[in-house]
Structure 1
């Protein structure tokens, strides 16, 4: 995959997205929500945290909750390796790490290139997915960061 812009209607401002892999699927999120990308470090589990919260890590003296994106999306969970990455995002006043298998690239996408989520998707999937983009002979789901981060994580931080 390259950083080639996905062009559409003239006059529409394209946005940049970070693309990454979870399982066999490629996803992307709006780059505006991304604060940094770091390598995986083991997390300290939190008692009574939601099952998709891997735990917390120390980010330069701050406690950062880490969401296992595979678990959050209902995909098979893999034990993190050195290849995994944590995308540190900020949304709705929360700063959270998203555990992904690998970050692939930055994509430039025009808003009208994002197609609606198919009707066959579950309501839960639709709440996480803004839409679908066809790029470089693959289908990429555009995730809504704020919907991946439940309000209950504010208590964990």
Structure 2
């Protein structure tokens, strides 16, 4: 996105991160990894080290602030994610015992749209030296949760074209 604050970009007049925060508004504690978000009161904000170093360091930093047994791990750019999707992920993760991730229309895992047992994540992170979320989470064998529709919850906004398409959906 050319250095723009991607979570702060807007879909339907709201920052992308606000849509995701709404999807977890029932959580006891919401942890955001990245710069402070004054427009999201009550969230705990932490930074990965070094800032901008990727999803694995971000997960490590965020998980250090998690106190719950089960955690939703979500990208900040999912404008169509809703509380019902997070509830379904958490229910399936608990049933499975380790974790669950959304899959897109082609059945591909969406590693930044999942729910996990916190201890399982901590154990996987403790010995992981790679940079890939798939490399970290894939071996955990999560349950797969399909979600389709005209406004898919796994849809992320990685490019200006993605953002424009989301605005038109």
- Normalising TM by the smaller chain, what interval? under 0.3
Whose strand proportion is higher, 1 or 2? 1
Q: Which protein, 1 or 2, shows the higher relative CO under an 8 Å CA cutoff with sep ≥ 6?
A: 1
TM-score, with length taken from structure 2: 0.26
